[in-house]
Structures are given as structure tokens and as C-alpha cells.
Chains A and B, each alone.
Chain A
Amino acid sequence: MNTQLFEQLHNEGLVTDSSFERIKEDSAKKLFSIHWEIKTLLYLGVLLLSGGLGILIYKNIDAIGHQAILAFIAAVCAGAFYYCVKTKLPFSTAKVEAPNVYFDYVLLLGCLTFVSFIAYLQFQYNAFGTRYGLATFFPMLVLFFSAYFFDHLGVLSLAITNLAAWIGITVTPSQLLRVNDFNGSTIIYSGLFLGVFLIALAFVSKQKKWKQHFEFTYANFGIHVLFVFCLSAMFHFENVYLLWFLLLAVLAYFFYRRSIQNKSFYFLVVTTLYTYVGISYVVIRFLESMGRSLSMGAIYLGLLYFIASGVGLVLFLISSNKKIKAL
């Protein structure tokens, strides 16, 4: 803290005597926080240790045996969850702070070992047979439950990714999965469904105040999923792409209103850029259909379109930025 500057501000009467005293006191004390340094060391330690142990086990798998490893993973998982249940603060639908520094890490360890446990069972013993859906469904339930019960944003993200994997596997018949031939339209519809579902969850968490701080994570996943699948629908169903463009326009309007309401610059920019991709696709398709007759003209028009639309969007972002700031 620059005491000289605040001395000047103090002389100008902008900073009161007591505030200036506090600033001087603080710079005399000169406490130096190594919070982030230690956190990084901790994180690196976990990374190295788990990686090292993983390779050790992998190399000695014949000597150890699968059951022993499974038992070990189960023990770590159970231990981690036991610790979390013991130390957690009482449940509430509002945000619950972690009781100590290690809590979040231990919970994450528990969740990850649980996921690996199920994966190991399936991989080694084919426990769920060809019902792949079940193998993703259980971890998903546990992850969602843990995210709410222990209040952990990272676990929530894991749960959402797992939900997506589960839907993706459930809608794709397993023989198709094996020959790696994806039925595009089914995937697209379920993706759109997932996006709407996530946005609905974001809405519910905010309105009903069920873990309000989860809203951002849901909405963030939701917006990307929705836009990505809406755009891929445009590219996939070529004949009716204008219909999908209509949907894109509706989404864009919805998210634009939402980002202004929530004063979110992030969602504003994301919405703008995805929509821009869609609009440009439509314009290029249009110019392409025209291009047969006037090829050079179409190229010039295309270049002019990108310059003009770019300038237009720059102005749009600047004015929306002002709009949000003025709220």
C-alpha cells in the first residue's frame, strides 16, 4: 500500500484521520501472505503423489491383484466420505462454507475415487454388462447428491459432465456406439434437451433459492450446450437451416435479455459470439447460392459483410456494456 499517495489524499480531506491511521498501521506491520504459494505446493503434492502411486500400482498390478486395488480404492473413498460427513457444517439451502482448508480437497478425492471405483468394476469385471447407462447413472447420482449435500461447485461441474455422458450413452444404442457411427439427429435433439434442462435448473436454483450460487455453473454449461447444439443443428439439417436459425435467434434474444438482467458481461459476450457464427453462416450460404452468377461480386460482398458486421458488433458490445454499467 502506497502511504505517500494516501498521505496526499488525507491532506486533501478525502481520507479521514482514522482511515489514514489504519493504512499506516498496516504498512508498518507489513504482513506477507503466502497463501497462494502454499496452496500451489499442496496442489502439486497431491498431483505428484496420486500420479506416482497410480503408476506404481499400474506397474505392479500382477503382484497386487485387482481385488486388493479395488478394496484400496473403496477404502479411500469411504474414508474420505466419512471425514466429510463428520466435519461438515449443517445442511442449508443457502451457501455453506467449508469447515476447514482440507474439506474441499477430501470431498473431491472421495468423489473421484468413487467414479474410478465404478469404472474399474465395469472395466475389469464388466459389472454392468452392456447396460453402459447404469455405469454412468450411479456416479451421476452420487455426484449430484454430494454437490448439494456438501456444497461443492467443482463436484457439481463433475456431476453435470456425468449427466451429459449419461444422456449421450442412453440415447445412443450400444451397437452404434461400438461401430462409432453416430446418429446425428438423436444426439442433437438430446443435446438441446440437456441445454434446456440445465437452463431450467439454473432458473430454479435462483428462483427457489436452492443453492443460489449454483446458478452460474448450470447456466454456464447450459448456454454453451444450447448454442453448440443449435449451431450444429443448423449445419446438420442443411435443408431447413433457416428454421434452426430462427431458434438461434430466439435463444440469442433470451440470453441477451437474461445477461442484461443479471448484469453479466460474460454471458453477453458468449451470446454475441455464438449468434455471430450463426448469422455469418446464413449470410455465407446466401452468398454461395448467389455466387454462381457473380463470383467476384459475391466475394467482395462477403468481405464487406464481415467488415461491416464486425464494426456493428463492436458498437453493439460497447453500447451494451454501457447499458449494463448504467443499471
Chain B
Amino acid sequence: MIAYNNTSLHNERIQEQSITAFENNFISKEELQNIQLKYPVQFYTPNIFIRIGLFILTGIILSFSFSLISMPFMGTIENAWKGLMLFFALLTYAGLEFMIRSNWHYKSGVDDALLWNFAGMLFASISLILDAGALTNSVLAFLISLYCCIRFADRIMSVVAFLSLLAFLFFLFTNHLGISKAIIPFVLMAASASVYFLIKNLEKKESLKNYEHCFTIISIVSLLSFYAAGNYYVVREVNNAMFHLTSDGSLPFGWLFWILTFLIPILYIARGIQKKDAIFLRVGLLLIAAMVFTVRNYYHLIPHEVFMTIAGSVLLILSYGLISYLKQPKFGFTYAELNKENKMEKLQIESLIIAETFGQQTKPAETTKFGGGSFGGGGAGGEF
């Protein structure tokens, strides 16, 4: 089912876990090395920077190859280009399978670029050939990304598949079923919840371990979409933009959506604390911000700057309080970074040196900004 070699995928998971165990000082370096010898990974998976470089270069190769292939058809390009795109998509797919099977590429940048090129071109060409509407397009996107997700266990593809499923339901209920449009938010919420529970069940299956990263990201996105579907702002604005349910722009059953807007983030956080679930906790914190923005969009009780000042002070006091409160771990929560004490030992093994360089990677943005900005353009005082 999955294109990559199963044994190597399995061994990669073992190595990943062992490296975490080593970082936490649970196992010694020798034990780690023995595990790595016993469970070798054959994949070609380069460092993240090489991966980015290979991704860019493969993209260049693909776009120029496509231009080269289209050159002989220049005279009749208006008729030919949809077919050319379809042909090139299939060609890319063959290349992708080849790189994976015979060259063992796995998350190398090359396979990512080929996969994205294949999926994008296939979707665009079929959609153009069929002259498809919104509903057909979402079905098409869903089928293609679902296939890519199953075959290549790609995380972003799984997100695309989930979102196109939601889009399919949305367009189905807006245009093709004669049911009241007011139930769409609940349909989408129900779909998000069902996908979430489905994922939670699939996660437990040993045979589907290769997809664990896909499952994680889908569960995050489904929690977000569950909230978005019931959020007052989203529902109201979508209603007004697309359906014009009421003449004055107000929302029927508005109170219900206000309750959802407030309740869901709090429930997420409560669940996150109760189950010590990082996903629920982080999504909940993020949605608190969404909740605040929703309220402030409709009710201006105090000016923005006063609100910012108050909110900032509250956050500072809250985080300061939490840090001092959790100096000693309480109820299984701690402020300490869990694997900090052996940062130096990390340096010893080669694979983790790379992680070190990765951690320092935040600066390039500033540099490029400088290259064009303070020097060439904004010169005087641009940096203040």
C-alpha cells in the first residue's frame, strides 16, 4: 500500500524513539548504536537544508522539463496544453515511484517536489479538461490527495484531503441538496468530529503506524475546523457573503453560535489539562485568541490600545505566576524543559549535530532583509 519500504519505515520509528530515549539519558550511547545497527534504515534522507536545496532544484528541473516538452507543440499550444499537463503529471509520477523504489529516496526533497508536482498538475489538468465546478473540483482534490496520502504518507497531503472533504460537504449542502442552508455549520462540525474520532481509532492500529504523523496533523486540523464551523464570526460572515439568509445581516440562532464560540476553547483546554494532551492544550490556547478576536469584532467596549495593555499585563502576570507555581512540578506539570540537561551530550552523535545547526536557523530572514533594505533602500534610520 505504502510506496516506501516497510521494514525501513519500521526501523526508522525504532531509531527515532531510541534517539529520544538517549537524549533523555535513559539509554547509553552504546545501546543506541547497537539498536541502530540491529535496525538499519536504508532510506536516503538527507539533512533538512539539503532537503530544501534538493526540493528547489527538483522544482527547477521539472519546470524546465515541462517547458522543453511543450516546445514542439508551440504552434498548437492552446489545444495541446491540457493534455500536455496530464501527460507530464503521469511522467512525474513514474519518476517519483522510480526514485523511491530504486534510489530509496524518503523525505529527501526530491520525492517531495515530484509528489507535489504530480498532484498539482494532475488536479489542474483534469479540472481544466472537465471544466469542473466547485463540487467536482473538491471531489477531484479529495481523491488525488487521499491517494497521495495513502501511498506516500505525506502530512500536507492528508491535510489537503481532509479540507477537500469538508469543501465537498459544504458545496454539496449549499448547491445540490434542497435542505436549509442553516444546518451547514452543524454538518461541518459533525464531519470534523467524526473524522477526529475515526483518526483516534485508526491511531491505535499497529498496522497503520506508518501514518502516525498524518493522523496527528489531521486531528489538529479537525479540532480547528470543528471550532471554525461553529464560530460566530465565521458562520455569520459566510452566511452574509454567500446565502443572505436575513435582510439585516444578523444571524438566526446567533446565541447558539456565541455559546459555541466561548465554550469550545475552554473545553479544549480543560480536556488538555485533564488528559495532559499537548494537542488539545495548544489548540485551545490558540482558539482563546480566536474567541477574543470574534468578540472584539462585534463589541467595542474599550479602545484597542487599552485592551492590548490590559491583556498584555494579564498574560505577563499569569505566566509569571505559572512559572513560580510550577518551579516544583505539581499534578504532573512542570515548567522545566524535559531534556535540557544533556544538551552537551547531544553534540556527540553525528545525527544530532545537525539538529543543533537547525536550531540556529532563525537568522536568515534578518539577513536577507538587510541585503535589500537598510543598505540598498531604506538607508537612513531604516533600522530604528
Contacts and interface: CB of A to CB of B under 8 A. Distances in A.
B128 to A, nearest CB: 24
A221 interface: yes
Interface stretch (B54-62, B80-88, B136-144, B179-187): B54-62
Given A52-B309, A269-B49, A269-B52, A5 B64 contact: no
B75 interface: no
Contacts of A41: 285, 315, 318-319, 322
B293 interface: no
B329 interface: yes
A263 B188 CA distance: 50
Interface of B is mostly: helix
Highest count of chain A CB atoms <10 Å: which of B68, B282, B334, B384? B384
A55 B381 contact: no
B21 interface: yes
A244 interface: no
A240 B353 CA distance: 42
A1 B305 contact: no
A51 B335 contact: no
Given A53-B309, A115-B384, A221 B363 contact: yes
Given A161-B370, A321-B47, A35 B71 contact: no
Interface residues of A, number: 92
Interface string B340-377: 00000000001001100100110110111011001110
Contact of B338 (A31, A119, A225): A31
Contacts of B335: 33-35, 38
Contacts of B364: 220, 224
Contact of A1 (B21, B52, B282, B382): B21
A122 B383 CA distance: 14
A313 to B, nearest CB: 5
Interface stretch (B25-33, B148-156, B260-268): B25-33
B159 to A, nearest CB: 22
A202 to B, nearest CB: 13
B379 interface: yes
Interface of A is mostly: helix
Contacts of A5: 14, 17
Contacts of B276: 30, 32
A208 interface: no
A310 B363 CA distance: 27
Nearest to B14: A5
A265 interface: yes
B304 interface: yes
A224 B371 contact: yes
Given A19-B27, A217-B363, A314-B54, A265 B354 contact: yes
A15 interface: yes
A317 B357 contact: no
A132 B360 CA distance: 33
Interface residues on B, range: 35 or more
Contact of B305 (A40, A56, A269): A56
Contacts of A234: none
A165 to B, nearest CB: 4
A220 B308 contact: no
A307 B312 contact: no
B368 A224 contact: yes
A321 B336 contact: no
A116 B383 CA distance: 10
A38 B313 CA distance: 14
B26 A19 contact: yes
Interface string B278-300: 10011001000000000000000
A306 B381 contact: no
B149 to A, nearest CB: 24
Given A23-B26, A172-B379, A300 B71 contact: yes
Interface stretch (A42-50, A61-69, A75-83, A282-290): A42-50
Given A14-B35, A33-B334, 14 more contacts: A1-B17, A16-B31, A30-B276, A34-B334, A52-B304, A115-B384, A165-B379, A165-B383, A169-B380, A217-B360, A266-B49, A317-B50, A317-B57, A318-B50
9 contacts: A19-B26, A31-B329, A31-B332, A42-B316, A53-B309, A132-B380, A161-B383, A168-B375, A229-B371
Interface of B: 14, 17-18, 20-21, 24-28, 31, 34-35, 38, 44, 46-50, 52-54, 56-58, 60-61, 64-65, 67-68, 71, 110, 276, 278, 281-282, 285, 304-316, 318-320, 322-323, 326, 329, 332-338, 350, 353-354, 357, 360-361, 363-364, 366-368, 370-371, 374-376, 379-384
Interface of A: 1-2, 5-6, 9, 12, 14-16, 19, 22-23, 26, 29-35, 37-42, 44-53, 55-56, 59, 101, 115-116, 119, 122-123, 132, 135-136, 157, 161-162, 164-165, 168-169, 172, 174, 177, 182, 187, 191, 216-217, 220-221, 224-225, 228-229, 263-266, 268-270, 272-273, 299-300, 303-304, 306-307, 310-311, 313-314, 317-318, 321, 325
Q: Please provide the 8 A-B residue pairs with the shortest distance between their CB atoms, ordered closest to farther.
A: A49-B312, A52-B308, A45-B315, A48-B312, A52-B309, A310-B61, A55-B305, A119-B384
